[in-house]
Amino acid sequence: MVIENILIWCVIGLVAGWLASLVLGGGGLIRYLISGLIGAFVGGFLFNLLGIDINLGNAIVNQIVVATVGAIVVVFIARRIG
């Protein structure tokens, strides 16, 4: 079960990172994965902090949306810093 969860997180991270790259440009498989996984944590934190609760009818889709928003924030901040 643990390996299955890790694989699901990786797939969500890849999709979120890829979607963030469509919005902001740039990419690569490793960059997608890293930005998506970090973005999942950042997005979850931001959505909790702001009290935003999304319900799009599917838990995986909800997680991808949250992770994508987080990945966009992460990539945007990283580009401003670097």
Compute φ and ψ for 25, nearest 5 degrees. 85, 165
User: How is residue 61 written in tokens?
Assistant: 């889709």
What is the mean pLDDT of each successive set of 10 residues along the chain, which is 82 residues long?
Answer: 84 91 84 89 93 92 94 92 83
Q: What is the pLDDT of residue 1?
A: 67
What is the torsional sign of CA 35, 40, 41, 46?
positive
Three-state secondary-structure class, residue 55: coil
Q: Give yes or no for a contact between 46 and 69, defined as CB atoms under 8 angstroms apart.
A: yes
d(CA 69, CA 64): 9
pTM, whole model, 2 decimals?
Answer: 0.88
